[in-house]
Amino acid sequence: MEVTFRRSISLVARNNGLWPTVTALTAAANSRQFSLSSLTRPPPNYPGHVPLTGIEKAALAIGSGLISLRDPRRGDLIAAFAEATATPYFIYRLRDAMLASPTGRRILRDRPRITSASLNLPYLRSLPANTVGRTYAAWLDREGVSPDTRAPVRYIDDPECAYVMQRYRECHDFYHALTGLPIVREGEVALKAFEFANTLLPMTGFSVFAAATLKPSERRRFRDIFLPWALRNGLRAKEVINVYWEEQLERDVEVLRKELGVEPPPDLREIRRREREERRRRKEAAGAAGAVAGAATGAAAPAASSSSVTGEGL
């Protein structure tokens, strides 16, 4: 029936001289992508915003979560998972925590952004070694990372809550510098556990399951040392989202740690360095022992041969 209807329209159009108009309208209609989501999805609430339906958010959360769990290096998927799972409750809880703090309210009002330009990294490198700014810049240089790589928030509908997520994302390296944890997988999992205890964002809790991908020795260390540290410090510390880092750069980092209630964990890089050296020493010792055993075996073989020859002569 649909084919007959289309043919009837074409015949009428040709008979009445309207075929060019019908052809143009059909081409315009075919060039557009019509779907149920395009009819129900609201317009963007801020630049870069991508409104999603509930089903689309669920699909994004499941897909990005599973893939990022297998490959924790996919920062884009981790960011998407964080945004898809932050609503309808958790990001509002974090926003309310900022509204309950005078400093948090100022951050929401000013909406500062953390970039290498806004922080003036050359100036931070010139600060005394014990300052927050110098500690942060030294951590960036040691780990080879930049504050300019944080992805913009796209999937959170409320503009203010979108900024809260952006602020959390851009402050992540300050949490690294404050705790001294490196960006190796073991350090990231430990910091995510700390962040989950402090912020309750689902993505941070989900990321802790990446501990299953660690080596056996790393899993034991995480279970025995860094997970207890993360939960203890994350729960007792003040809301780290309310730190106006831009105003703390010239302060003593130890004073800030005490004010927040954060004690640095054992130096993970130093622990890993000692373990590498110990493995190297054991390997060298095993190699030396093997060489001695080989030399002894080689020396014993000619002696036995000489004795055999002598016996035959007798």
* Binding site per annotation, positions for Zn(2+): 172-173, 176, 188
Phi first, then psi, for residue 198 (nearest 5°) are -95, -35
Q: Taking CA 46 as the corner, what is the angle to CA 148 and CA 151, rounded to the nearest 5 degrees?
A: 20
Write the DSSP symbol of residue 72.
Answer: T
Instruction: Report yes or no: 206 and 86 within 8 Å, Cβ to Cβ.
Output: no
Q: Taking CA 80 as the corner, what is the angle to CA 78 and CA 81, rounded to the nearest 5 degrees?
A: 65
Instruction: Report yes or no: 72 and 210 within 8 Å, Cβ to Cβ.
Output: yes
Rounded-to-integer distance, Cα 179 and Cα 199, Å: 16
Rounded-to-integer distance, Cα 21 and Cα 26, Å: 9
